[in-house]
Amino acid sequence: MSASTGTVRDAVDLLARVGREAGLDERAARAEGQVIAAAVLEQPGPSSAHTLWAGAFDRPASDFFGAVPRGRRYASIPTPLLSTLVAERSPRAPGYAQALADVATAACALPGAGQLSIGKATSVGRTQLAAAGVAPAHGAGTATEGLTPPGAGPTTPGTGAGALDPGQLHTWSSELLRRAQEQSARLGELLGQPSAAPGRDHGQPSATPGGEGGPAAGVPEPGLGGGQLESQTETETEDEDGSETEGETEAEPERSVEELLAELDELIGLERVKAEIHRQVAVLKMDARRQEAGLKVATLTRHLVFVGNPGTGKTTVARLVGGIYRALGLLSKGQLVEVDRSELVAGYLGQTAAKTAEVVGSAHGGVIFIDEAYSLGGDQYGKEAIDTLVKEMEDHREDLVVIVAGYPDPMADFIATNPGLESRFRTIIDFADYTDDELSAILQHLAAQMDYDLSGRALTRFTEILAATPRGPSFGNGRFARNLLEAAIGRHAWRLRDEEGASVEDLRTLQQEDFEDRDAVDLSVADATPTDDGPTDAGPTDDGQDPA
């Protein structure tokens, strides 16, 4: 294993350590880091991303292709483990979010990762940090300022694609190490423990990039790592006997139904969806009032069916539904756990029931969102998962909401496959495709969230690409806009790599040339993962708008 691949492996090792300190399953935390790295490394068309990833984690290259769809989600929603920490108001949530962001950054720093990986890492890092309430320091630069990965540029004659000479590589490696040391110290402070800086023994393996199993962080970036984290989330108080005990700072107040509905209303487009959610909330509020008055209440199912094409905001709305139900007192936590068939079905009959029950169990107190749910139909493995899901819905009906999503016709067939599903899914919400104007607004919204501006010509170029793109089943809607933005961020970073005196305006403004490469258009198709069960959404991340 090379020093460069060791850096991303070390970042995942530290993520697992931070997860363990937060009371999470260490293996699950490590798995989240590995799927994030896979999604950041993914490139359209033939690439060596799978071998880079496999080499970093000593796993079969074939595992890469299963990890990518899971990792894509986290460009727009927090990971399940981070969602749990946030829902529980854990003081460890910021540290875990920071470690997730560092995994993304370390992955994009791998030689040969490609320009697109920079934008993907920016999306993932911003989303995870924002979910935990970690904001970038005021005036921080862009996510890639001062650190552009080798292999991201055009072909250099005689050296291979974007290769660096030994002197450049040495400078790059030194910068990686310096930033890894800084991040290790910062997370050590957050955890209330000594830092595991390279060259020092704190009971942990060496954190030097390339060390086996070391806890060194990935590479913190000004825009990903967010500068310094907020002040330590734990305080020390003294007991009457003078001993120090650890206490948590006061938790932020829960968001009200009105605040969450206001966030829903601010989303671009989705007018019919907003009206239906408002109607559902009105019915649930009336039920609560009638129950308080001692009147009979109709037995209404809270489970929902979302139908529509990919990238139309289904996951974003599902997250808001979880928060609304929690604010109404219908759920204890309100976290969102997004899964697909591969995370519910095991390789052998008899194992699927246990696997499905475990995954659904992680969503108790919140919402489990099953994307492309129709893929569970058609075989005995999927039937076992469906039967287990129905049982879980019944056993935990007071503190679990299930939302299933996919294309309209396949979803109708899926609901009809099991009487238990038909009786529990009565409300169907239709998500329409975005218009061109709405997609342009989404692009500008996502860019602003990552501290970027678009020049007028850049926005014109986006609308030209949009007009020339077929709107077939694999068109990604909001995901299409995100893909183009991530690719533009990568080209922007490479374009300014040697401009030491670039102004703040230069660092934050995406220009027309950053949208020029036509391969970005193909990303809407590259996200699609066809199955034998029919068309699939363009990537598990179904959000047209960032939910953080």
Can you give the residue ranges of every domain in the chain? 3-229, 257-430, 436-526
Q: Which of 145-159, 276-290, 294-308, 438-452 has the lowest mean pLDDT?
A: 145-159
Q: What is the pLDDT of residue 501?
A: 83
- pLDDT bucket at 310, cuts 50 / 70 / 90: confident
Percent of the chain with pLDDT over 90: 36
pLDDT in tens, 461-481: 999 999 999 887 778 899 899
Segment 53-57 mean pLDDT: 90
Residue 20 reports pLDDT greater than 50: yes
Q: What is the pLDDT of residue 276?
A: 92
Cα-Cα-Cα-Cα dihedral sign, residues 365, 344, 281, 291 = negative
The token duo for 541 is 């991340």
pLDDT in tens, 63-112: 998 899 889 889 888 998 998 898 888 999 999 999 999 999 888 888 87
* One-letter identity of residue 334: G
Q: What is the pLDDT of residue 500?
A: 81
Q: Which residues contact 127 (CB under 8 A, 6 or more apart)?
A: 74, 75, 76, 77, 78, 546, 547, 548
Distances (CA, A) of 477 to 471, 514, 540: 9, 20, 13
pLDDT in tens, 222-268: 233 333 223 223 333 333 344 433 334 344 567 889 999 999 999 99
Nearest by Cα to 309 from 522, 474, 73, 528: 474
Q: Which residues contact 399 (CB under 8 A, 6 or more apart)?
A: 331, 332, 364, 365
Q: What is the pLDDT of residue 494?
A: 83
Quick check: helix, strand or coil at residue 440? helix
Q: What is the pLDDT of residue 473?
A: 75
CATH T-level fold of 257-430: Rossmann fold (3.40.50)
21 against 47, higher pLDDT: 21
Distances (CA, A) of 326 to 261, 330, 399: 13, 6, 10
Quick check: helix, strand or coil at residue 307? strand
Q: What is the pLDDT of residue 421?
A: 86
Q: What is the pLDDT of residue 366?
A: 92
Q: What is the pLDDT of residue 149?
A: 38
Give the number of C-alpha atoms closer than 13 A to the C-alpha of residue 185, restricted to the C-beta side. Answer: 11
- Decide: 384 and 338 in contact? Cβ < 8 Å: no
Tell me the C-alpha distance between 390 and 413, whole Å: 16
* One-letter identity of residue 493: A
Q: What is the pLDDT of residue 137?
A: 41
Tokens 């907003």 belong to 274
- Decide: 327 and 257 in contact? Cβ < 8 Å: yes
Nearest by Cα to 219 from 173, 169, 163, 153: 173
Residue 304 reports pLDDT greater than 80: yes
Helix, strand, coil % (nearest 5) of the chain?
50, 10, 40
Q: Which of 175-189, 484-498, 504-518 has the lowest mean pLDDT?
A: 175-189
The token duo for 7 is 């850096």
Q: What is the pLDDT of residue 93?
A: 92
Q: What is the pLDDT of residue 5?
A: 54
Q: What is the pLDDT of residue 299?
A: 65
Tell me the C-alpha distance between 216 and 222, whole Å: 18
The three-state (H, E, C) secondary structure of 373-429, written as one string? HHHHCCCHHHHHHHHHHHHHHHHCCCCCEEEEEECHHHHHHHHCCCHHHHHHCCEEE
261 against 531, higher pLDDT: 261
Averaged confidence pLDDT in the chain: 74
Q: What is the pLDDT of residue 517?
A: 66
pLDDT in tens, 344-387: 998 887 889 999 999 999 899 999 999 999 999 878 888 899 99
Q: What is the pLDDT of residue 194?
A: 37
pTM summary value? 0.70
- Decide: 49 and 526 in contact? Cβ < 8 Å: no
Q: What is the pLDDT of residue 545?
A: 57
| Domain with residues 436-526, CATH architecture | Orthogonal Bundle (1.10)
Report how many helices (DSSP H) and strands (DSSP E) the chain contains, helices first. 20, 11
Q: What is the pLDDT of residue 253?
A: 60
- Decide: 274 and 266 in contact? Cβ < 8 Å: no
